[in-house]
């Protein structure tokens, strides 16, 4: 809860900067603020005063272990993201607005990790989405950015309708918005849930699946990711994705609807499989690395869904953390290349291994992690999910995951091959280089990928 | 503890090498691998003294949530394969001394990482750890093949190699997870997985068997999962090819022997025949392929498939002779194939071609090379008193006990092996020199050293293989006992 | 003494090592000395051991544990018994003579040192073969001599034809070796031992063989396949004539006297197995008889002096197998011995002729050499007489014993033997007459160069000639002396002839008569009428052409085996390997790519479509889950 | 007026129909503004449903929820219209299918 | 089925108006008319709220939707000078596809809900007619829903900032 207060306060503070003219120091200020938020979020791991908030907040939010872990992951990811995103806040006149939007989105993201009432789910989704619509369109004169904003907004609003209809139907069937009461209602029902409730679940699922860009509701994602500013894309594919999946997992990964598991689990499982396959297959032929990463992020949403279906909140957390680290690193390198060459096609990565060995190495590491090669964090994440899938009798899902990973290898390795095997383009100027903050970020992510990969216990045993 | 040192030493040396520029890198790499070899000799000695020496054993919790331990243990078979790894790696490094590699520090550190992973695969006693090392071995070799490979399709070929082997190993992972969930304790320890596997029904075991078989069959490779291999061997740099064929391939056979057979004995009993037939087809088929190859390196690549098919057949025979023969042949094949690929490298780097048709008469200008080649060749065709014979004899013996017809077909390798090997020897060495070969220069010191060591190893192992077999025998008997008990 | 038996193979090995490593740095005389000396020393050792071995003795000299796996224990140890002793003497004795001969014959060859290294290595392996105290060690020698044979046939490695001949020899041998190996394994699987020591494989076979009748038949046949390869029997005989590509001393040593008789040694050693396997025995006899006749017919039409001898060797080996097949093990070994003498003599004599003729090997270009090279001529004549079975010479006794046994077993075999003998006498005398009688038919230059060979070559010829004359007395039959058959007692195979003396005499006379007629026919044709073999193939009638071309066996093998194998392999490579198996693998990848390249159009860029897809997705879910 | 006389199913059906009309609007039209309006229609269907359930469950929470929906809808409309205006400035149309450069 | 009361008739009339005007919004090609028709629809919905005893909600609905949101729409439509001529229309086949898809969706949704088990009528005695009154709502909103209430202010702030950010002309 404290994190929410800090973040929204920080958002207001950012707006005030315009008035009181401390725009210049806003960047360090937000960094520190985010660090503070991260610290408060993660401090619950050791100082458990989270439960008292729940009552105080009238059961609107609940900082259970999952919420603590996920919000920590999200805020830390955002903090890391900020290290790379100085370029996004370049424009003097709109800087404060962008900070505020980002921070409000982050607030929404944190709400999604800890909501325990449908109202909060709805508010969280909207608080996350509305600033994002704007962020996607932040390059106002750029048609691609416009298109991204339009598509994102229209489809997002449309999906919100489904989400709300679902919530309304569930309310109609159970008479409550509160997740705790909902759980009691579902678990105590003797005859099983009726059609209204199921219709609500389906509608709710449609809305949420859209948010995590699961197939067949994924179509917006590649276009939006491609059109948005690369920093924004990085934000969307890490922070937003993690938030969306935790919003999802709070409902479907926990025990709330477990009595009704037979109804929605097969559906989710199918969606997970479909998402993995679609995301990976579609990425195969992409030449635009940004778009490629977008499809890759779709496929990872599928993997995250496996974790949800198998009811493994820890799996969600671990996978999301691992994925965020790797994805962030990949996007940062992409952004550096893009800034350097003004283009984000795969050819721009040619010969990077020679021109900027460190960038290439980090990107390789990130891609290996995304591909799930030992001993990276991504591998253990996948491994975790496969374990869970086997445990809960979803072996076929694990097999699809395996096949998906293999297809995934193809495009991840295309980039690696381009970096190390292809000659640099003739018009390549100087070597692209990361600035200090980006270097710091890349170092942290690379370290994180390896350390978590080698010692997953560090994360897994972090029990609040 | 000392086993962990076997893993740690190459890792540290690899990291060190990464930061050394220029020629220093290869010297450090060579020094480290020689040191590693000496260390493995110490381990060998310790093991001979007392196989249960606690210094050879290591168990540290790693990922507690899943009962995964950093669990290293040596048995005779693993020890021999570790020895093979530590013996061959310095030779491989030394043999590359004549080559100017771009970015040598990366090259040699990758080789060292590779060694680390390979040793790890053989000493891991925890299923998960085994899998980790298994995959870890893949990355350095992939980079070696990619960055220092030759030909215009390197990217494509190495990628195929990578994805194909990973395809298999992911199914192995699936199989291992399945075993884990059916094992009595919450542990990935080998014994526990064996217990889990053996408690399964035939149907379940069959599923696990095929999933894991796929991984090993691809790695070795055996028919019909072999098509990645010739291309990869041909396009990889010689050191990479040596690593792949000399050591990495043994991961497959080792896995088959140690991680598959005891886990799924009933399935082995039920499906062993099918696997055996695949192995035998592999032998004959690959031999026939080798006969018609026009490219020297590709010929050797196919010969490797034929040999490994026989090894796998011996394993599936699961009797003492077959398995010990397989162990022996793993060692022999490792040594021989490294020698053969070095020969290919020597020839192709001096003449600029690997086309058999355009070579010939090298014996006229470099008789010493011819003799060394001949010795390696004899090892490869399993002439008695070379290392190849002991293994092959035991293997055919073992396969015979499984099925006489199998042995008859498997034994065709004796004939066909001679056909393609002699053909290559004749095409390269005999006859008159031509414009390409008449300027064939003398062997360089490092090449000579490596070939001498290999030739010596071929002869010594052929004349006196007893110590090695003695080391392997208890482990083999254990394994076979465990398999037979599980049926 | 016997405990030092390991010195016998070691000595040539040392010789090989020194010569091999010393290479060209050593002088030729030193090499000759070392090479011959080491074999001589081995010979001396063999003699010493021989004097200590009596019939029925069996000593095992263990050197070290070789390897073991499960119940399979193999020692690196040597067996010393009468059979081995006899072979030791033949190998080291004749080997020594041929080494000496080679110092002269190969003197001007640039590969002199190499030659001696190979020869010594060969002696080593050959000794290992006959001394190995278990089947596997025998197999070591067995393959080792094959290797040396390969190296020596292809000694002049610049010549592609020679290389091919060498390769062919090795591969055909390997076909046999596979059979041998499987036979060994079958024996092991059946009786769980491979050692020749007491209580080893042979004893066990005699104990359990009766109850494992079929297994023993199979084992015997498999072993026989090995023998066929090594000893050039139908169908694996074609490599031997080609093997004449090697230097002549090699032909004498390896392809006449020693290596090719390894098959006989092996079957003699495995006699116990064969006595359990009557069908296999019959097979051996039939194959032997067929080979004897078949090769002899080819010999009738050959014009190359060494080829004639080669086919003669095949034919004689066939005779030996016939002997083995009818149970005359002693006879076979006896013939091995005498054959070693006279065939080595003939080959060396041929070498001397070739030496004199400056490398010419075609007998149509020779003639009238008797006066030019008298020693060669005289010794060659002795050899020819011996092989034709003229009384008192060695070949007479051994051949007689075989024929008598054959008759005893089944007269048909006897007839086969007679036919072979008659033809042998004919083509050998044809060879002799054409070479040494009549007028010289070579070029003027060759005539000018004609000269007798140096002492190093003629002395071995003379020694061998003496042996060819007297060698038969070790096995002189009962007909001529009471209690005479020393070899029989010494070897102790117990294959006693039970024919009546009258029958034996009758057979003897009949044989002599037909052989005499045959020799006369040759004399008439090639001396009196002065006929010459046709210069061109076209002058022959179809039957002759068929035989002249060796029944086209090589071509048939080529068409039936090699070409189809190549063709199938090539097709498999092009179609199955590249198209199907790899095609499937690549096809999967390409399929994914294709799906991706088509599927991407679903991502049409139009929001309307996306919304539609979303609604359709919702409909689908609704229909599946709610209806 | 007494509410209980109208069965709740009627309201559910009405909401479903209204929602479907909204969906149809989104599918049918190309004008972004009208699409946005259709979305509003969908949201109103939800509001109606919630209000009906509120009465049915005798629970004011659902009505409060409706307030939130209204508020958020307003915010969404504000942002959406801003986006539309921004785009209109660039491409002079509100046709949603005009911008389809990002694809494949 | 009960006897049709006035309430039922009112319900049906309001429903018909809402659905028809909604459909017209979708089908009519003139944006301005669309806006006006949507307002009609909203009024019909407000009528439903009144029928449901949610008077305050009805009032707020009118004020927010008809008064604010739709005016905003109207404003934008005017600002951009949209009319029937500028209205982009779909090709016929796309329209057919849209109608079919929408129809199927409608059938699926309605069918799913109709097929669902009929919900029992709540106990009439327990009915509290006052829940729609402002004091009850206020008590709920500012007590139980205080947190979302506060957060929605942040949401508004974000939306406002965003709208301004995008809506104003770029400074360049």
More confident residue, A177 or E120: A177
How high does pLDDT run on average in chain E? 85
Has residue A429 got a pLDDT over 70?
Answer: no
Residue E119: the pLDDT is 61
Residue A444 CB coordination number (10 Å): 17
CA–CA separation, B212 vs B260, rounded Å? 7
Collect all residues with Cβ–Cβ distance below 8 Å to D101 and sequence separation of at least 6.
A143, A144, A147, C605
Would the CB atoms of D72 and A123 count as touching at under 8 Å? Answer: yes
Contact flag for A and D (3+ C-beta pairs < 8 Å): yes
Residue E122: the pLDDT is 55
Has residue B38 got a pLDDT over 90?
Answer: yes
DSSP-based three-state secondary structure for C77: strand
Residue A239: the pLDDT is 94
Q: Report the run of H or E that residue C174 belongs to, with start and end.
A: helix C160-191
D45, D52, D59, D63, best to mutate vs chain E, most E CBs in 10 Å: D63
CA–CA separation, B453 vs D2, rounded Å? 102
Alpha helices in A137-217 (DSSP H): 143-174, 179-188, 195-211
Residue D2: the pLDDT is 46
Residue E126: the pLDDT is 56
Would the CB atoms of C68 and B466 count as touching at under 8 Å? Answer: yes
Residue C306: the pLDDT is 87
Has residue D1 got a pLDDT over 50?
Answer: no
Q: What angle do CA E133, E138, E140 make, to 5 degrees?
A: 105
Q: Which residues of B390-414 are buried (b: 16+ CB within 10 A; e: fewer)?
A: bbbbbbbbbbbbbbbebbbbbbbbb
Has residue B117 got a pLDDT over 60?
Answer: yes
Q: Which residues of B187-211 are buried (b: 16+ CB within 10 A; e: fewer)?
A: bbbbebbbbbbbebebebbbbbbbb
* Chain B neighbors (3+ CB pairs < 8 Å): A, C
Contacts of E117 in chain C (CB under 8 A): none
What is the average pLDDT across B451-472? Answer: 90
* Chain E neighbors (3+ CB pairs < 8 Å): A, C, D
C621, C624, C627, best to mutate vs chain A, most A CBs in 10 Å: C621
CA of A263 to nearest chain C CA: how many angstroms apart? 8
Q: Any bridge partners for residue C73, and if so which? A: C68
Q: Report the run of H or E that residue C59 belongs to, with start and end.
A: strand C59-69
Question: With pLDDT > 90 as the criterion, what percentage of chain C qualifies?
Answer: 4
Has residue A165 got a pLDDT over 90?
Answer: yes
Contacts of A223 in chain D (CB under 8 A): 102-103
Would the CB atoms of D30 and C604 count as touching at under 8 Å? Answer: no
Has residue D3 got a pLDDT over 60?
Answer: no
Would the CB atoms of E113 and D79 count as touching at under 8 Å? Answer: no
Contact flag for E and A (3+ C-beta pairs < 8 Å): yes
State pLDDT tens for residues B338-388. Answer: 999 999 998 888 888 888 888 888 888 888 898 899 999 999 998 888 998
CA of A324 to nearest chain B CA: how many angstroms apart? 21
Label residue A194 left, alpha or beta by phi (over 0 means left) and psi (-120 to 50 means alpha). Answer: beta
Residue C483: the pLDDT is 64
State pLDDT tens for residues B204-262. Answer: 999 999 999 999 999 988 888 888 999 899 899 989 999 999 999 999 999 999 999 89
Contacts of E165 in chain A (CB under 8 A): 94, 97-98, 101, 134, 138
Q: What angle do CA C447, C453, C457 make, to 5 degrees?
A: 155
CA of D96 to nearest chain C CA: how many angstroms apart? 7
More confident residue, E118 or A462: A462
Would the CB atoms of C614 and A216 count as touching at under 8 Å? Answer: yes
Pair A336, A432: CB distance under 8 Å: yes
Residue E121: the pLDDT is 55
* Chain D neighbors (3+ CB pairs < 8 Å): A, C, E
Residue C329: the pLDDT is 86
CA of A232 to nearest chain B CA: how many angstroms apart? 32
| pLDDT range class, residue E21, cuts 50, 70, 90 | very high
**ipTM (interface predicted TM):** 0.89
Residue C64 CB coordination number (10 Å): 11
CA distances from C389 to A48, B8, B99, C256 (A): 112, 77, 67, 17
pTM: 0.90
C591 contacts chain A (CB < 8 A): no
CA distances from C405 to A167, C224, C268, C319, C590 (A): 107, 20, 16, 12, 73
Would the CB atoms of B465 and C67 count as touching at under 8 Å? Answer: yes
DSSP-based three-state secondary structure for E123: coil
Residue C203: the pLDDT is 83
CA–CA separation, C183 vs B408, rounded Å? 11
Contacts of B167 in chain A (CB under 8 A): 402, 406
Q: Which residue has the tokens 């922070």?
A: A239
Question: With pLDDT > 70 as the criterion, what percentage of chain A qualifies?
Answer: 98
Residue E100 CB coordination number (10 Å): 11
Contacts of D69 in chain E (CB under 8 A): none
DSSP state of C151: H
What is the average pLDDT across C221-243? Answer: 87
What is the average pLDDT across B167-178? Answer: 89
Nearest chain A residue (CA) to E152: A123
State pLDDT tens for residues C422-449. Answer: 888 888 888 888 888 878 887 888 778 8
Q: What tokens were used for B111?
A: 């080789």
How high does pLDDT run on average in chain C? 86
Residue A325: the pLDDT is 93
Label residue B124 left, alpha or beta by phi (over 0 means left) and psi (-120 to 50 means alpha). Answer: beta
More confident residue, C533 or C262: C262
Would the CB atoms of B167 and A391 count as touching at under 8 Å? Answer: no
Q: What angle do CA B187, B193, B195 make, to 5 degrees?
A: 110
Residue C201: the pLDDT is 82
State pLDDT tens for residues A412-427. Answer: 988 988 888 888 777 6
E26, E101, E106, E107, best to mutate vs chain C, most C CBs in 10 Å: E101
């Amino acid at each position: 809860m404290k994190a929410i207060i800090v973040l929204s306060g920080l958002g207001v503070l950012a707006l005030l900067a315009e008035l009181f003219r401390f725009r210049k120091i806003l960047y360090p200020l937000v960094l520190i603020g985010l660090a503070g938020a991260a610290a408060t979020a993660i401090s619950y791991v050791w100082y458990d005063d989270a439960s008292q908030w729940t009552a105080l907040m009238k059961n609107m939010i609940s900082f259970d272990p999952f919420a603590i872990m996920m919000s920590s992951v999200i805020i830390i990811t955002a903090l890391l993201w900020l290290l790379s995103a100085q370029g996004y806040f370049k424009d003097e006149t709109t800087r404060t607005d962008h900070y505020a939007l980002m921070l409000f989105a982050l607030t929404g993201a944190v709400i999604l990790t800890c909501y325990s009432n449908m109202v909060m789910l709805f508010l969280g989704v909207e608080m996350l989405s509305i600033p994002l619509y704007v962020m996607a369109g932040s390059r106002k004169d750029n048609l691609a950015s416009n298109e991204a904003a339009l598509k994102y907004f229209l489809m997002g609003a449309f999906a919100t309708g489904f989400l709300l209809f679902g919530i309304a139907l569930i309310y109609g069937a159970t008479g409550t918005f509160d997740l705790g009461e909902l759980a009691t209602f579902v678990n105590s029902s003797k005859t099983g849930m009726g059609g209204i409730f199921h219709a609500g679940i389906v509608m709710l699922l449609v809305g949420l699946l859209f948010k995590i860009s699961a197939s067949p509701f994924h179509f917006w994602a590649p276009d939006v990711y491609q059109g948005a500013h690369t920093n924004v894309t990085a934000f969307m594919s890490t922070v937003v994705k993690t938030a969306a999946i935790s919003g999802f997992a709070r409902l479907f990964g926990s025990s709330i609807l477990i009595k009704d598991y037979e109804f929605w689990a097969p559906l989710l499982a199918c969606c997970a499989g479909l998402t993995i396959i679609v995301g990976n297959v579609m990425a195969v032929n992409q030449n635009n690395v940004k778009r490629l990463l977008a499809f890759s992020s779709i496929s990872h949403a599928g993997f995250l869904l496996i974790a949800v279906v198998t009811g493994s909140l820890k799996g969600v957390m671990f996978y999301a953390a691992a994925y965020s680290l790797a994805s962030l690193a990949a996007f940062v390198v992409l952004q550096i290349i893009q800034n350097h060459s003004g283009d984000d096609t795969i050819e721009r990565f040619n010969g990077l291994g020679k021109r900027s060995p460190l960038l290439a190495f980090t990107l390789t590491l990130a891609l290996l992690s995304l591909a799930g090669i030992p001993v990276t964090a991504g591998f253990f994440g996948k491994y975790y999910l496969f374990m869970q899938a086997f445990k809960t009798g979803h072996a076929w899902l694990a097999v699809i995951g395996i096949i998906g990973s293999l297809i995934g290898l193809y495009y991840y390795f295309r980039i690696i091959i381009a970096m190390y095997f292809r000659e640099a383009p003739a018009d390549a100027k100087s070597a692209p280089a990361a600035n200090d903050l980006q270097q710091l970020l890349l170092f942290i992510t690379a370290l994180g990928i390896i350390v978590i990969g080698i010692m997953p216990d560090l994360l897994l045993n972090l029990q609040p | 503890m000392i086993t962990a040192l076997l893993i740690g030493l190459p890792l540290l040396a690899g990291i060190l090498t990464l930061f050394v520029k220029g020629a220093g890198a290869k010297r450090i790499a060579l020094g480290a691998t020689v040191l590693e070899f000496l260390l493995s000799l110490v381990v060998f000695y310790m093991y001979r003294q007392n196989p249960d020496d606690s210094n050879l054993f290591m168990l540290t919790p790693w990922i507690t949530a899943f009962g995964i331990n950093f669990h290293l243990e040596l048995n005779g078979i693993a020890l021999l394969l570790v020895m093979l790894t530590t013996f061959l790696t310095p030779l491989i490094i030394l043999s590359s001394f004549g080559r100017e590699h771009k970015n040598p520090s990366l090259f040699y550190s990758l080789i060292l990482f590779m060694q680390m992973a390979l040793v790890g695969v053989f000493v891991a006693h925890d299923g998960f750890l085994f899998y980790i090392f298994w995959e870890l071995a893949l990355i350095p070799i992939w980079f070696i093949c990619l960055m220092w490979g030759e030909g215009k399709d390197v990217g494509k070929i190495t990628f195929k190699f990578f994805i194909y082997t990973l395809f298999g190993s992911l199914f192995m992972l699936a199989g291992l997870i399945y075993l884990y969930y059916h094992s009595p304790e919450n542990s990935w320890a080998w014994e526990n997985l064996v217990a889990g596997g053996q408690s399964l029904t035939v149907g379940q075991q069959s599923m696990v068997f095929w999933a894991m078989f796929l991984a090993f069959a691809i790695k070795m490779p055996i028919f019909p999962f072999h098509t990645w291999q010739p291309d990869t061997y041909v396009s990889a740099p010689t050191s990479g090819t040596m690593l792949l064929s000399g050591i990495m391939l043994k991961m497959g056979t080792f896995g088959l022997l140690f991680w598959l057979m005891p886990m799924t004995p009933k399935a082995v009993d039920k499906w062993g025949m099918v696997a055996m037939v695949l192995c035998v087809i592999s032998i004959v088929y690959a031999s026939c392929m080798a006969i018609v190859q026009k490219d020297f390196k590709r010929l050797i690549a196919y010969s490797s498939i034929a040999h490994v098919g026989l090894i796998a057949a011996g394993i599936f025979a699961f009797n003492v002779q077959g398995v010990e023969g397989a162990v022996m042949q793993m060692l022999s094949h490792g040594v021989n194939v490294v020698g053969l690929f070095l020969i290919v490298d020597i020839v192709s780097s001096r003449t600029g071609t690997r086309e058999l048709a355009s070579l010939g008469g090298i014996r006229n200008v470099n008789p010493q090379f011819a003799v060394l080649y001949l010795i390696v060749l004899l090892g490869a065709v399993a002439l008695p008193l070379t290392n190849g014979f002991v293994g092959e004899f035991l293997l055919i013996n073992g396969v015979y006990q499984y099925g006489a017809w199998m042995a008859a077909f498997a034994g065709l390798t004796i004939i066909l092996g001679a056909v393609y090997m002699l053909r290559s020897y004749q095409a390269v060495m005999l006859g008159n020199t031509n414009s390409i070969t008449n300027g064939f220069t003398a062997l360089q010191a490092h090449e000579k050293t490596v070939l001498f060591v290999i030739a010596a190893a071929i002869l010594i192992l052929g004349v006196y293989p007893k110590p090695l077999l003695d080391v392997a025998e208890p482990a083999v008997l254990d394994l076979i006992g465990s398999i037979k008990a599980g049926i | 003494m016997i405990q030092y038996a390991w010195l016998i193979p070691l000595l040539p090995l040392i010789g090989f090592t020194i010569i091999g490593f010393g290479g060209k740095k050593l002088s030729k005389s030193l090499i000759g000395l070392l090479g011959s000396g080491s074999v001589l020393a081995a010979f001396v050792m063999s003699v010493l051991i021989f004097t200590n071995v009596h019939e029925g003795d069996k000593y095992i000299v263990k050197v070290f544990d070789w390897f073991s796996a499960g119940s399979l224990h193999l020692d690196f140890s040597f067996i010393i018994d009468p059979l081995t002793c006899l072979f030791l003497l033949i190998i080291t004795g004749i080997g020594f003579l041929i080494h000496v001969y080679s110092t002269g014959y190969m003197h001007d060859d640039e590969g002199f040192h190499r030659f001696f290294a190979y020869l010594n290595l060969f002696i080593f392996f050959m000794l290992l073969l006959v001394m190995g105290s278990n089947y596997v060690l025998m197999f070591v020698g067995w393959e080792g001599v094959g290797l040396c044979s390969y190296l020596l046939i292809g000694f002049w490695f610049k010549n592609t034809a020679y290389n091919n001949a060498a390769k062919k020899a090795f591969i055909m041998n390997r076909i046999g070796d596979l059979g041998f190996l499987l036979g060994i394994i079958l024996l092991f699987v059946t009786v769980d031992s491979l050692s020749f020591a007491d209580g080893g494989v042979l004893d066990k076979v005699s104990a359990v063989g009766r109850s494992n009748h079929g297994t023993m038949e199979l084992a015997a046949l498999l072993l026989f396949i090995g023998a066929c390869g090594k000893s050039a029997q139908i169908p694996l005989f074609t490599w031997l004539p080609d093997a004449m590509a090697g230097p002549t001393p090699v032909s004498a040593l390896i392809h006449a006297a020693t290596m090719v008789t390894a098959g006989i040694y092996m079957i003699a050693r495995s006699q116990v197995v064969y006595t359990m396997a009557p069908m296999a025995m019959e097979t051996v006899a039939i194959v032997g008889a067929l080979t004897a006749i078949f090769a002899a017919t080819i010999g009738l039409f050959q014009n190359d002096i060494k080829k004639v001898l080669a086919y003669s060797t095949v034919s004689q080996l066939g005779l030996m197998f016939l002997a083995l097949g009818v149970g005359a093990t002693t006879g076979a070994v006896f013939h091995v011995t005498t054959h070693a003498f006279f065939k080595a003599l003939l080959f060396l004599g041929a070498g001397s002729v070739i030496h004199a003729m400056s490398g010419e090997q075609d007998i149509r270009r020779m003639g009238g050499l008797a006066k030019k090279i008298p020693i060669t001529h005289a010794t060659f004549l002795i050899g020819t007489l011996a092989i034709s079975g003229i009384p008192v010479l060695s070949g007479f006794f051994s051949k007689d014993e075989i024929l008598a046994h054959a008759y005893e077993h089944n007269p048909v075999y006897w007839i086969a033997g007679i036919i072979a003998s008659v033809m042998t006498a004919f083509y050998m005398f044809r060879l002799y007459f054409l070479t040494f009688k009549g007028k010289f038919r070579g070029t003027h230059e060759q005539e000018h160069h004609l000269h007798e060979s140096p002492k190093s070559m003629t002395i071995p010829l003379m020694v061998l000639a003496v042996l060819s004359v007297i060698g038969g007395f070790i096995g002189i039959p009962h007909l001529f002396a009471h209690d005479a058959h020393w070899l029989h007692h010494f070897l102790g195979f117990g294959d006693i002839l039970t024919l009546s003396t009258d029958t034996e005499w009758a057979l003897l006379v009949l044989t002599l008569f037909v052989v005499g007629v045959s020799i006369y026919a040759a004399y008439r044709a090639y001396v009196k009428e002065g006929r010459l073999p046709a210069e061109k193939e076209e002058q022959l009638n179809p039957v002759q052409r068929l035989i002249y071309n060796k029944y086209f066996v090589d071509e048939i093998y080529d068409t039936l085996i090699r070409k189809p194998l190549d063709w199938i392999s090539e097709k498999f490579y092009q179609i199955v390997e590249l198209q199907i198996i790899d095609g499937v693998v690549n096809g999967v990848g390409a399929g994914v790519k294709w799906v991706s390249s088509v599927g991407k159009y679903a991502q049409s860029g139009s929001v309307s479509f996306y919304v539609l897809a979303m609604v359709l997705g919702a409909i689908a879910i609704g229909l599946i889950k709610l209806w | 007026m007494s509410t209980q006389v109208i069965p709740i199913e009627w309201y559910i059906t009405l909401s479903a129909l209204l929602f479907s009309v909204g969906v149809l609007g989104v599918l049918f039209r190309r004008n972004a503004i009208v699409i946005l309006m259709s979305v509003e229609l969908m949201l109103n269907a939800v509001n109606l449903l919630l209000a009906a359930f509120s009465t049915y469950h005798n629970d004011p929470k659902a009505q409060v929820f409706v307030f939130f929906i209204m508020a958020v809808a307003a915010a969404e409309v504000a942002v959406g219209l801003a986006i539309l205006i921004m785009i209109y400035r660039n491409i002079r149309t509100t046709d949603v299918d005009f911008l389809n450069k990002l694809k494949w | 089925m009960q006897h049709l009361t006035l309430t039922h008739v009112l319900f049906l009339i309001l429903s018909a108006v809402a659905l028809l005007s909604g459909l017209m919004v979708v089908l009519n090609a003139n944006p301005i008319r669309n806006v006006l028709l949507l307002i009609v629809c909203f009024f019909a919905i407000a009528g439903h709220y009144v029928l449901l005893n949610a008077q305050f909600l009805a009032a707020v609905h009118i004020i927010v939707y008809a008064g604010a949101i739709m005016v905003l729409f109207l404003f934008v439509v005017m600002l951009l000078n949209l009319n029937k001529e500028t209205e982009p229309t779909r090709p016929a086949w796309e329209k057919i596809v849209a109608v079919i898809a929408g129809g199927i969706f409608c059938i699926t949704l309605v069918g799913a809900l109709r097929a669902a088990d009929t919900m029992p009528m709540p106990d009439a005695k327990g009915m509290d007619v006052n829940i729609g009154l402002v004091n009850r709502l206020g008590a709920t909103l500012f007590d139980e829903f205080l947190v979302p209430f506060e957060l929605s202010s942040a949401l508004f702030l974000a939306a406002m900032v965003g709208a301004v950010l995008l809506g104003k002309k770029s400074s360049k």
